Amino acid sequence: MKKFLVTVILLQWLFIPYNYAQVDPKADKIIKSSRKKMNGYNDMTSDFIWTMENKATQQAPSVKKGKIYIKKDKYKIVFQEREMFCDGKNLWDYLKKEKEVNLSKNNPKEGMNFQKVFKMYDEGMKIKYDAIDIIGGSNTHKMTLFPIQEKEFFKVELWIEAQTENIRRIKIHNRNGTTHQFEMNSIVVNTNLTDDFFIFDINKYPGVELVDLRED
């Protein structure tokens, strides 16, 4: 699960104002417009597919399907076997089969604060516009980002839908040979999600044990 959160933190980085090194003007315009529009959303809900692959191992890719709900620094992630709730301060990791929920302090570096998505630019990125791709029948701008300073990843591919300006897919290429792809589908915005929606209410889950891992 930590690898999944490390993947989505790159999505978070895309929504912070940035200083860039070498930027294709067309890519720069698309990214700025997307950031402005998505930062204006009160909340967002989306189905997603997360894929992790390492071709060097010749193993089948690891694929997880889920649903994500985002409201500023709050999020809820739903998988078949577990759910994660974050109200910005606390993180509840609910393991359904074990009937256990682990409560810890939220770590913004590993969480799903969707306001951070473009922060990678602050650290210096080369950016180029690639082409128009088709995702789910929609025209989507594909761009590639390369870090100036050495990172654990050497390339990030980013897809932004032309009509809606929403991010549809991000693919991270790590130096260890693994790739992580996060693709969002059926995006719905501004559904008036309440703050309580992002808090795990143990009273609604009879028989579930709460394990508090927070330090006093």
- What residue ranges do the domains of the chain occupy? 2-212
With 50 as the cut, is the pLDDT of residue 20 above it?
no
pLDDT band at 112 (very low <50, low <70, confident <90, very high): low
Segment 100-105 mean pLDDT:
95
DSSP 164: T
Question: What confidence score (pLDDT) does residue 8 get?
Answer: 54
Question: What confidence score (pLDDT) does residue 166 get?
Answer: 92
Segment 189-215 mean pLDDT:
95
Question: pLDDT tens, 80-90?
Answer: 999 999 998 99
With 80 as the cut, is the pLDDT of residue 28 above it?
yes
Instruction: Using the structure block, give the residue that is written with the tokens 């992580």.
Output: 180
pLDDT band at 119 (very low <50, low <70, confident <90, very high): low
Q: What is the mean pLDDT of the chain?
A: 84
pLDDT band at 99 (very low <50, low <70, confident <90, very high): very high
With 90 as the cut, is the pLDDT of residue 98 above it?
yes
Domain 2-212 has CATH 2.50.20.10: yes
User: Dihedral sign, CA of 183, 177, 157, 112?
Assistant: positive
Question: What confidence score (pLDDT) does residue 211 get?
Answer: 95
With 70 as the cut, is the pLDDT of residue 179 above it?
yes
- Global confidence as pTM: 0.82
Segment 181-202 mean pLDDT:
95
Distances (CA, A) of 157 to 25, 67, 170, 181, 213: 17, 22, 6, 9, 36
Rounded Cα–Cα distance for residues 183 and 168 (Å): 6
